[in-house]
């Protein structure tokens, strides 16, 4: 008698999705399997961070000038090692490394894809046990097969993404990834060590009740941002109450909540940092691809984040991302503020 089984693993799901593309070779599915393996290895260390000498500072800083935590380095090395050994990745670029890495073995030079990642986003939250995450992007390379990948492969705009996703190491460990077919979430079942489909066809509601930003920076905000902040804190006519403010300080966690509950996340440019803090290639593009695939919106205040042509690997951009109607409202204020500022004497 056939036993009914509702459990669908990530591998089974990606293979089923591949069937929708008769010409698909299964390499993208294999790449997702490789990334999920690396993240299971990272999860193992994150889950026992308090028990082994792996939290705390590594004593070095990354290209961003940010102090590296030991788990940052471990996560970066895990992803590089797994992808270097896969047959499906020509090279990687990581937020933790100055430059990209081209894998030059006979298999890798013939691989179609390159992967960019932030190996452990929000790592400053490790010591306080708040949710952190891994963010990844998959592009089809533009350089010729048969040779090592080149920098141009890593400087493609987000609208060229083949897939993007994140793993959130929180109360449960979840992998969420998007293709043009949509967004699906998988929860790690520790007893079998598999990510299992738990959130099919995820949708970002077109409006929400939560705004998420680091209010401590508001003294540096321009007039448009300050006007939107006031709008969020006023009694909202439809809700009869102000929006709620939630900010974890870990982009993966703040955007996972935004995807599930609706809302808006903002890291704007300000008087001290014109381009804000978040990195286009490692954080903003992959998260924008996911949120847009779920029906949300993502802008840098002037244009769609996914349409920005990257000029360098570690460039930063402002970001307004989340529920469509909330992002549009924020952009109204920001544009008005800017226009007002533009005509001001």
Closest CB to ligand P6P among residues 139, 166? 166
Which of 50, 56, 200, 249: binder of ligand P6P (CB under 6 A)?
249
Chain centroid to CA 84: 21
Binding residue count for ligand P6P, defined by CB under 6 A? 10
Which of 17, 18, 85, 124: binder of ligand P6P (CB under 6 A)?
124
Shortest separation between residue 104's beta carbon and ligand P6P, angstroms: 31
Length of the chain: 345
Closest CB to ligand P6P among residues 29, 250? 250
Instruction: Report 258-287 residues binding ligand P6P (CB under 6 A).
Output: 277-278
26 backbone φψ class: left, alpha, beta (φ>0; ψ -120 to 50)? left
Contacts of 1 (CB under 8 A, 6+ apart): none
Closest CB to ligand P6P among residues 168, 188? 168
Shortest separation between residue 248's beta carbon and ligand P6P, angstroms: 8
Q: Does 122 bind ligand P6P (CB under 6 A)?
A: yes
Contact range with ligand P6P by CB under 6 A, out of 175-183, 193-201, 247-255, 309-317:
247-255
Backbone dihedral angles phi then psi of residue 323, each to the nearest 5 degrees: -60, 130
Write down the residue that tokens 């998420």 correspond to: 212
Contact range with ligand P6P by CB under 6 A, out of 69-77, 244-252, 310-318, 326-334:
244-252
Closest CB to ligand P6P among residues 10, 251? 251
Shortest separation between residue 284's beta carbon and ligand P6P, angstroms: 10
Contact range with ligand P6P by CB under 6 A, out of 71-79, 99-107, 116-124, 180-188:
116-124
Q: Is the separation of the CB atoms in 107 and 131 below 8 Å?
A: no
Shortest separation between residue 127's beta carbon and ligand P6P, angstroms: 13
Contact range with ligand P6P by CB under 6 A, out of 8-16, 176-184, 218-226, 246-254:
246-254
Question: Where on the chain is the footprint of ligand P6P (CB under 6 A)?
Answer: 121-122, 124, 214, 249-251, 254, 277-278
């Amino acid at each position: 008698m056939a036993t009914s089984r509702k459990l669908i693993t990530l591998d089974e799901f990606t293979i089923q999705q591949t069937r929708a593309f008769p010409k698909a070779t299964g390499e993208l599915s294999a790449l997702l399997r490789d990334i999920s393996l690396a993240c299971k290895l990272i999860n193992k260390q994150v889950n026992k961070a308090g028990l082994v000498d792996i939290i705390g500072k590594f004593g070095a800083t990354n290209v961003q000038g940010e102090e590296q935590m030991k788990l940052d380095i471990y996560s970066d090395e895990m992803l590089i090692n797994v992808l270097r050994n896969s047959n499906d990745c020509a090279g990687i670029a990581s937020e933790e490394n100055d430059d990209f890495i081209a894998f030059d073995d006979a298999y890798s030079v013939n691989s179609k894809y390159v992967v960019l990642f932030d190996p452990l986003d929000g790592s400053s939250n490790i010591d306080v046990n708040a949710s952190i995450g891994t963010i990844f992007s998959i592009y089809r390379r533009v350089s010729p097969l048969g040779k090592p990948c080149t920098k141009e492969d890593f400087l493609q705009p987000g609208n060229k993404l083949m897939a993007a996703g994140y793993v959130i190491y929180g109360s449960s460990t979840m992998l969420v990834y998007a293709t043009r077919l949509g967004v699906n979430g998988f929860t790690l079942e520790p007893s079998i060590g598999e990510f299992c489909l738990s959130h099919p066809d995820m949708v970002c509601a077109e409006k929400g009740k939560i705004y998420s930003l680091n209010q401590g920076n508001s003294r540096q905000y321009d007039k448009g941002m300050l006007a939107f902040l006031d709008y969020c804190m006023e009694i909202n006519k439809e809700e009869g109450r102000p929006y709620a403010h939630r900010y974890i300080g870990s982009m993966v966690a703040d955007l996972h909540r935004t995807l599930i509950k609706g809302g808006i996340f903002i890291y704007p440019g300000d008087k001290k940092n014109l381009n804000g803090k978040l990195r286009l290639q490692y954080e903003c593009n992959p998260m924008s691809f996911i949120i847009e695939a779920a029906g949300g919106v993502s802008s840098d205040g002037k244009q769609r984040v996914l349409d920005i042509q990257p000029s360098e690997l570690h460039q930063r951009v402002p970001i307004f991302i989340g529920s469509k109607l909330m992002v549009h409202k924020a952009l109204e204020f920001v544009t008005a503020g800017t226009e007002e500022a533009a005509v001001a004497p």
